[in-house]
């Protein structure tokens, strides 16, 4: 019987386990492993694995596929630990933001014959803990795959097979390209969130001002609650592209600052542009596709595809009639 071992019981790792268990692979057993015994026990109780094993050596023994669901700050340590004990033809994949640095570590420590194939499921909704885990989490989402230089064709097929089994869509990317874009989308927001907390909490008025913090402040600063050790590791590992995106953000922020300070009339246009680009991203319409149009708001399919919340947003954006308005244009109010 083949063995798939998942190391790390974050919501992604647990969701992978739940999806694989739901697939009922007759000749494969799913093993879950974590140094957090309480999390491991909880994941086992909800059916994310056939067997839970907190002993890394026995959990990895005999595994043909090992999935690492770990923060970057722990990944090198785990790779070092499993390198001497993995099967000679095992495949190792992961789920994190950074790929270039992990591929370098894998090339350095893994024995010949063991393949590292990077992976990164692009989940758009927030995952706060194991309670957000679900077998259906990956349905229809894009899942970048980035093989290392020494990865075999069979190892790539193995990871692609797992991704498709999860219900996700494999997407092959260059690791350097992936990291540059991923840092902008996942790490830059953490830096911005932390900077907002730093600037406001560092104000002499913070003792009084903090009482006015409501949902907007809570929403924007939530990412500052992520583990500082993991944040530092991600920033250092991707310093060059991250600095580039920080500079881009500063330039955009300065443009807003200038128009606000000068009370320029076209400040409105900056907000419109941001509103429309955000809407395109939310509705997966950044790349125009005339052959795939959204169903009419009058059709029942719209609710099935979009859900009630998105359907209401769509109606607001189109005025209830997509023939009268481009789907992703802000509807300006007269007067």
pLDDT digits (tens, 9 = 90+) for 126-147: 898 899 999 999 999 999 999 9
pLDDT tens, position by position, 201-244: 999 999 999 999 999 999 999 999 999 999 999 999 999 999 99
CB count, 10 Å around CB of 318? 20
Q: What is the rounded average pLDDT for all residues in the chain? A: 89
The answer, yes or no, to whether residue 90 has pLDDT greater than 80, is yes
pLDDT at residue number 168: 97
Mean pLDDT of 287-313: 46
pLDDT tens for 181-194 read 999 999 999 999 99
- The domain 174-259 is classified under which CATH number: 3.40.50.920, 1.10.3660.10, 1.10.287.1080, 3.40.50.1390? 1.10.3660.10
Domains 2-173 and 174-259 share a fold: no
Q: What is the mean pLDDT of residues 245-253?
A: 97
What's the per-residue H, E or C state across the chain?
A: CEEEEEECCCHHHHHHHHHHHHCCCCCEEEEEECCCHHHHHHHHHCCCCCEECCCHHHHHCCCCEEEECCCHHHHHHHHHHHCCCCCCCCEEEECCCCCHHHHHHHHHHCCCCCEEEEECCCCCCCCCCHHHCCCCCCCCCEEEEEECCCCCHHHHHHHHHHHHHHCCEEEECCHHHHHHHHHHHHHHHHHHHHHHHHHHHCCCCHHHHHHHCCHHHHHHHHHHHCCHHHHHHHHHHCHHHHHHHHHHHHHHHHHHHHHHHCCCCCHHHHHHHHHHHHHHHHCCCCCCCCCCCCCCCCCHHHHHHHHHHHHHHHHHHHCCCCCCCCCCCCCCCCC
pLDDT at residue 301 greater than cutoff 70: no
Q: Per-residue pLDDT averaged across 314-327, rounded?
A: 48
Q: Please state the CATH superfamily assignment of the domain spanning residues 2-173 in this structure.
A: NAD(P)-binding Rossmann-like Domain (3.40.50.720)
Q: What percent of the chain has pLDDT over 70?
A: 87
Mean pLDDT calculated for residue range 246-256 = 97
pLDDT at 158 over 50: yes
- The 10 Å Cβ neighbour count of residue 48 is 26
Q: What is the mean pLDDT of residues 79-102?
A: 96
Average pLDDT of span 298-315: 42
Mean pLDDT of all residues in 147-156: 95
Domain ranges of the chain: 2-173, 174-259, 265-335
pLDDT number for residue 124: 87
Whether pTM exceeds 0.85: no
What is the C-alpha to C-alpha distance for residues 43 and 16, in angstroms, rounded to an integer? Answer: 11
Give bridge partners of residue 117 from the DSSP assignment: 93, 147
């Amino acid at each position: 019987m083949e063995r798939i071992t998942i190391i790390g019981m974050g919501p992604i790792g647990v969701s992978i386990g739940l999806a694989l268990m739901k697939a009922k692979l007759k000749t494969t057993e799913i093993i879950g492993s974590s140094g957090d015994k309480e999390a491991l026990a909880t994941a086992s109780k909800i059916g994310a694995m056939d067997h839970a094993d907190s002993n890394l050596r026995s959990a990895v023994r005999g595994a043909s596929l090992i999935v690492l669901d770990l923060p970057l700050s722990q990944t090198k340590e785990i790779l070092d630990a499993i390198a001497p004990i993995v099967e000679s033809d095992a495949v190792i994949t992961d789920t994190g933001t950074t790929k270039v640095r992990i591929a370098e570590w894998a090339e350095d420590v893994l024995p010949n014959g063991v393949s590292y194939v990077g992976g990164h499921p692009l989940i758009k909704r927030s995952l706060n803990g194991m309670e957000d885990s679900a077998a259906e989490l990956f349905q229809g989402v894009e899942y970048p795959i980035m093989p290392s230089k020494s990865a075999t064709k069979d190892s790539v097929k193995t990871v692609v097979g797992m991704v498709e089994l999860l219900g996700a869509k494999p997407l092959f990317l260059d690791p350097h390209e992936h990291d540059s874009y991923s840092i902008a989308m996942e790490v830059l927001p953490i830096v911005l969130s932390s900077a907002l907390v730093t600037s406001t909490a560092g104000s002499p008025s913070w003792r009084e001002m903090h009482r006015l913090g409501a949902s907007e402040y809570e929403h924007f600063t939530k990412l500052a609650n992520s583990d500082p050790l993991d944040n530092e590791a991600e920033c250092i590992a991707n310093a060059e592209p991250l600095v580039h995106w920080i500079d881009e953000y500063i330039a955009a922020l300065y443009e807003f600052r200038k128009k606000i300070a000068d009370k320029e009339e076209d400040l409105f246009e900056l907000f419109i542009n941001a509103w429309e680009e955000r809407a395109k991203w939310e509705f997966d319409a950044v790349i125009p596709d005339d052959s795939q149009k959204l169903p009419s708001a009058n059709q029942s399919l719209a609710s099935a595809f979009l859900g009630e919340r998105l359907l209401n947003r769509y109606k607001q954006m189109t005025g209830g009639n997509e023939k009268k308005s481009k789907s992703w244009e802000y509807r300006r109010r007269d007067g």
